[in-house]
Structure 1
């Protein structure tokens, strides 16, 4: 009918044309809403909420990793050290980093409170204690200073094949989680370690293996300790879990003459970190970033990926050095931490790396 009216008058009627477009647009909108509802309903009914979460997860990864400044192309004439300085200089917002650092210090996350390096008792005293209060004039012999560039490593399987090793080692200070092994994975995770966390379960196992020569696991434990020779082993959960494992571990490495420092916080780190970021059951990665935020000017983060597959569908193991199954939402709230790291990356507080680091051999 509209077409006949237009043909008889021979002149376009703007009101009629606008009405036609409005009707067509309305039809498309209604069709789109019905289709979207049908898709969502089909996903939920047929596959359950977990499959919808996977769709959302893939969308999240695709929308964020494509914009992350994490791909490193290193020409032959440029060293990894210059590459990382350039990447950090172009991405980090120094003003925002300074503001967050001041806030962390204001909330008690200073290096002389978070990383207290254990000092052996003077004389014949053999009892190991981790004091939290000191005289006002006390000056520690060892302590963390302020660093220009820091790398924080998680242990996610996303590091496999990343070739980020040289880039990681080019940072001034490298922090790792729970003494994750580096031998055999040097190209992807590097070899440099200045500080590593150690949980109570692994501390207990290492102390047991190192204590007696007859144990078959002794050599494995010794090899692992050699990897972290000269680094600081940090009992990040001291004060939250039983300290007996940490005491036993410290006593063992002293008796074995191993050259490494152990350290601990002056308060319950996981709880205070969780309160600061408003995230419960925090992982060692967020705890490490919290102390790094107070002692590092520019921070890169690698190996934090709480998903079982990439956006393209490639399977990703929980750890780069072992294939274990882990529930990322039950034990730790890692997806929440991942979102926090993405936000800190967007605001220029950190450089968050989830892609490959292309380097020259």
Structure 2
């Protein structure tokens, strides 16, 4: 019994250490508090601590046994990898009963628009209503650089673009965790669907759905898949592949200068009728980045986290799929995952040297899930 009690306390401490950073970035929903509260234990952090202790105690009291990847005869949980330990506890948190909380969403939106400005959603797309002919656009990655909006480019811009309010929105990330999730129908139930970085749809409809309204497009894809449009058939192949999307293909051409020329070439030669190719306004990203920096998050935002924030600005219920920053699957099997659901790239996001902070982003999204601001789907639907 003494050994059992010692193990229980030890695992509780380990769990709390895994979440200790939440004490520094805990989301504050009370009026007058910033979203991040460095140096203070937040309401959500205390809530996580209580839930952590409850989870650990209940599992040990039931004498459940599992090794990191296979069952064993041990009387306590043993993990050979720190990420597997995090996966287990995150999975337990996300399995708790969920309900949307309109009051918490409103409080978050008030804070969001307090930094972004009431005209934020007018800057999702570069259009003639927010961009003058012969004006300049500031790159949001290479901030010292400017792009000159020539008459040729201006004539290809839409006259206007309106972001409407929707009841239910899906944001589909590209984690390999979405495979075998059977979330396709659930995703397509939404009134509006965001997709990240032109991920292929047709072979993965059962798991990732097929409905599209906004498909983000990283112009580096023009280099990786289409030889920077230098081959005779490159543009033709690109246009063919884009036909599987509907709504708008939303290209972030003004993050960095590397692919701007190719991006504008696409804009001026886009003939698809299934969708519209538009330019993401760099100020839209800059405002979202400014908000999260004001809350203490300094890393460059991933596409998924950025789009999740955008969705929260105009959707009553935001559902996230394919957001999973770990090398192994949630649930009891801990199967190894590919980086994307549509390729076999190895998963290497744990390095702190990269530009993104996926683990911190995920921790924030879990907190939002627990407060009913959004719903984070992990595992099967």
TM-score normalised according to structure 1 size: 0.68
More helix by share: 1
Report the equivalent of 1:54.
83
From 298, 303, 309, give the equivalent of 2:328.
309
Matches within 5 A, 1:79-94: 91-94=99-102
Q: CA deviation at 1:282?
A: 2.0
Tell me how far 1:221 sits from its aligned partner: 2.0
What is the CA distance between 1:172 and its match in structure 2?
1.0
Q: Unpaired runs of 5+ in structure 2?
A: 15-78, 134-149
CA deviations on 1:202-250 (whole Å, 9 max, x unpaired) are 14556756565x34x5554233210124424141x73x422x6245323
Confirm whether residue 341 of structure 1 aligns to residue 365 of structure 2.
yes
Q: Which residue does 2:215 correspond to in 1?
A: 196
Secondary structure at 1:150 match in 2: strand
Is the 2:185–2:209 Cα contact (8 Å) retained in structure 1?
yes
Structure 2: how far apart are the matches of 1:205 and 1:34?
A: 49
Question: What's the C-alpha RMSD, in Å, of the aligned pairs?
Answer: 3.4
Distance 1:297 1:35 in 2: 40
Show the counterpart of 2:245.
228
**Greater Cα radius of gyration, structure 1 or 2:** 1
CA distance in 2, matches of 1:31, 1:230: 57
Question: Residue in 1 aligned with 2:263?
Answer: 249
Cα distance change on mapping 1:93 and 1:219 into 2, 3 Å: same
What residue number does 2:121 align with?
112
Task: Report Cα offsets for 1:154-209 as digits up to 9, x if no partner.
Answer: 00111111111121112111001111110111111111111122223114556756
**CA distance 1:170–1:246, change in 2 (3 Å):** farther
| 170 and 147 in structure 1: CA distance in 2 versus 1, 3 angstrom threshold | same
Would you say how many aligned residue pairs link Structure 1 and Structure 2?
284
Other-structure match for 1:263: 279
Give 3-state SS (helix, strand or coil) of 1:298's partner.
strand
User: Aligned-pair distance for 1:256?
Assistant: 3.8
Name 1:99's counterpart in structure 2. Answer: 107
Structure 1 match to 2:378: 354
Q: 1:105 to 1:143 in 2, by over 3 A?
A: same
Q: Aligned pair 1:66/2:87, yes or no? A: no
Deviates more, 1:226-235 or 1:302-311: 226-235
Could you report, residue by residue, the CA deviation over 1:273-302 in whole angstroms, capped at 9, with x for unpaired residues?
541453313211111111111111110000
Matches within 5 A, 1:128-143: 128=153, 141-143=160-162
d(CA) in 1 for partners of 2:120, 2:243: 26
Q: Contact 1:68/1:352 (CA < 8 Å) preserved in 2?
A: no
Structure-2 separation of matches of 1:118 and 1:203: 23
Task: Return the TM-score normalized by structure 2.
Answer: 0.65
- Is 2:338–2:347's contact at 8 Å kept on the other side of the alignment? no
Seen in structure 2, the aligned counterparts of structure 1 residues 307 and 98 have a Cα distance that, compared at 3 Å, is same
Query: SS of the counterpart of 2:345?
Result: coil
Q: Distance in 1 between matches of 2:187 and 2:7?
A: 47
Q: For each residue in 1:292-336, what CA deviation from the matched residue of structure 2 results, as whole angstroms up to 9, or x when unmatched?
A: 111111100000011111242212211110011132233222111
> What's the CA shift string for 1:96-138, capped at 9, x where partnerless?
111211221111165435402445999xx753269xxxxxxxx
Q: Sort the Cα spacing of 1:32 and 1:151 in 2 relative to 1 into closer, same or farther, 3 A.
A: same
Change (3 A) 1:173 1:29: same
Q: Is the 8 A contact 1:149 1:171 kept in 2?
A: yes
Tell me the residue number matched to 2:182. Answer: 163
Are the counterparts in 1 of residues 126 and 278 from structure 2 also a CA contact under 8 Å?
yes
Distance 1:191 1:210, change over 3 A: farther
* 2:161 pairs with 1:145: no
* Residues 68, 177 of structure 1: alpha-carbon distance in 2 compared, 3 angstrom cutoff: farther
Relative to structure 1, is the Cα distance of residues 102 and 275 closer, same or farther in structure 2, using a 3 angstrom cutoff? same
